[in-house]
Amino acid sequence: MENKKVNITLPDGSVRVFDGPVSGLELAADIGPGLAKAALALRIDGEMVDLKKTLDTDVSVAIVTVKEEGDDVLELIRHDAAHVMAEAVKELYPETQVTIGPSITDGFYYDFARAKPFTPDDLEKIEKRMHDIVDRDESIDREEWGRDEAVKFFEDKGEAYKAEIIASIPVDQPIGIYTQGDFQDLCRGPHLPSTKKLGHAFKLMKLAGAYWRGDSNNEMLQRIYGTAWRNEKELKAYLNRLEEAERRDHRKLGKEMDLFHMQEEAVGMVFWHSKGWTLYRTLENYIRNKLEQADYQEVKTPQLVDRKLWEDSGHWEKFRENMYTTESEDRTFALKPMNCPCHVQIFNQGITSYRDLPLRMAEFGSCHRYEPSGALHGIMRVRAFTQDDAHIFCTEDQITSETEVFCALLLDIYKDFGFTDVRVKFSDRPETRAGDDAIWDKAEGSLKEAIEATDLSYTMNPGEGAFYGPKLEFVLTDAIGRDWQCGTLQVDFVLPERLNASYIGEDGAKHRPVMLHRAIFGSMERFIGILIEEYAGRFPLWLAPKQVVVATITDDADDYAQKVLKEVEKRGLRVSLDVRNEKINYKVREHSLAKVPALLVAGRKEAEEGTISVRRLGEKHTKVMSLEDALDALVEEAKVPGS
């Protein structure tokens, strides 16, 4: 029987005709030897598949190479790196069992079951063996097995964890098994055509513990983390970023600058020191001033609220596992994890007219949420935090205009901190949510119309909305290229309905308001952590906890230094005096470590001439100025943006 011709349409619209089924590898070779050498995978109808996949029907195909932009290629590379690492571990330590090994942001990991702990020396050996496996150019091939066949195969090999995973897959689903050399692994794919295609741009990074299937009741496994990139240049750049991130680590700088500390007696909660609290209040005063200018009303609501309100709002059902509770007088109370239900209670007091809308209600709301201890990270991820929270109660017709006003305010504020690269993500309905599909259709449609009216570009972030409404997420890019999701705007038709919020419309009837949940910093703690790392502790003068130190060279300048101190204080700058009997170079080093922006140095000559030597953080030389000119310049520089 004559084979049916297969027509392959390429991205440029051209069509390649084959007399019968053809693999992606053969297709790439037919186009050209260069492409066959560079090809990593296929993309069929937007889905990446193995390069060796057989094409037996007419289809549109793109050949994926390492030059393709986006995360898909990196995910493919990292997934293969995990398999190559597992193969290396099995060769070096055959008694080890392999479990699960996915790609993750910036890298990959694999969890192993092994009685003897891995060591840093083991990582070196494993990484070297990975390079050997790449150089072997082992073909990577996929087969589909029956479930029972696959379970028996891995049980016979002593791979109990892998057999357990396979046994949990429905019997009617095919089991994808990939083979490279003598190593087999369960995987959906896709994978590279051979180990050589992985290249050598990878590095094993660290060891960690992990419970089997993420359950603390299960046995502890050993996790090996690695990173993998398209080429050595990208790998080197990433490792340099890690070094820079370590230098900027807010936990390290927070200690050096005496800003805060954390301890076991209050896990996930911050002890703010005087300088850190000064920084906190400066930030809070800044955003409060911005909110006042934008016609927000600031409120304050209780920390501890009866369970009934959380049941009415839906949080008890959807968010209970993250809430702290307490019992008193046969009643159950919860520390608020968020402020929105309490703001509705204020809105519900009295009668609100359509003329009162939009009503913008703001609160620096202290919230508590349970986070697993392993997820905590300095002041970036905590259990007790304060949101720069606000809720805008408005009509449906006001959603677009309020979104436009909010986005302009948010971008203006971010600009004051030097963040000009801001991306927007549109997060739509999650699996766990309140409200029916009709409500979600209306909410998502309203938010899309609103963001498109701002002319801001956005990308979709499927399934990541809040349980009560879709949201916009605003992502900042910092000085070393890292992304931070901070601000949010959510459209909520659900909570006003559940909590019986209403206003009197122009027609004299009751109507439900729309509730826009919005934040700019997100959490004060996290945003401060981001700022510490963004500036590497070298805050702009207006934000620095201590702006100026007046330091003496010799003790005969002490009286003049006292005079300088009083003049600086009169100008409203945050200042301290250092008249210790220490050499000036010692003082300079100490205050530089504390990241004080300006050092005013006074010696005998300065005292006699009424001048001051100004030394700025990071500069090697001082500048002699009249005291008045020096203070005028500092006062001008220390002005709060927008004030």
Answer yes or no: 340 catalytic: yes
Check: CB of residue 591 under 8 Å from CB of residue 578: yes
For the chain, count helices (H), then strands (E): 20, 35
Check: CB of residue 425 under 8 Å from CB of residue 399: no
The secondary structure of 511-580, three-state, reads ECCEEEEEEEEEEHHHHHHHHHHHCCCCCCCCCCCCCEEEEECCHHHHHHHHHHHHHHHHCCCCEEEECC
Pick the catalytic residue from 50, 80, 122, 389.
389
3-class DSSP state for residue 36?
helix
Answer yes or no: 369 catalytic: yes
Length, in residues, of the chain: 643
Pick the catalytic residue from 340, 342, 407, 486.
340
- Report the alpha-carbon distance of residue 444 to residue 428 in Å, rounded: 7
Can you tell me which residue has the tokens 């050399």? 181
> Which residues have a Cβ under 8 Å from the Cβ of 152 and sit 6 or more positions away?
none
Tell me which residue of 207, 200, 254 sits closest to 228, measured CA to CA.
200
The secondary structure of 565-629, three-state, reads HHHHHHCCCCEEEECCCCCHHHHHHHHHHCCCCEEEEECHHHHHHCEEEEEECCCCCCEEEEHHH
Pick the catalytic residue from 517, 546, 587, 615.
517
Strand partners, 7: 17
- Report the alpha-carbon distance of residue 148 to residue 166 in Å, rounded: 8
Pick the catalytic residue from 78, 83, 90, 369.
369
Burial of 396: CB neighbours in 10 Å, binned 0-12, 13-18, 19+: middle
Answer yes or no: 203 catalytic: no
Question: Which tokens in the block code for residue 355?
Answer: 């003329």
First-residue to last-residue Cα distance in the chain: 83
Tell me which residue of 299, 296, 406, 389 sits closest to 345, measured CA to CA.
299
- Report the alpha-carbon distance of residue 150 to residue 177 in Å, rounded: 8
Pick the catalytic residue from 248, 471, 518, 591.
471
Answer yes or no: 425 catalytic: no
Pick the catalytic residue from 203, 248, 315, 391.
391
Answer yes or no: 623 catalytic: no
Pick the catalytic residue from 387, 398, 490, 547.
387
Answer yes or no: 391 catalytic: yes
Tell me which residue of 315, 311, 348, 351 sits closest to 331, measured CA to CA.
311
Answer yes or no: 387 catalytic: yes
The secondary structure of 358-412, three-state, reads CEEEEEEEEEECCCCHHHCECCCECCEEEEEEEEEEECHHHHHHHHHHHHHHHHH
Instruction: Report, as residue numbers or ranges, the catalytic residues.
Output: 340, 369, 387, 389, 391, 471, 517
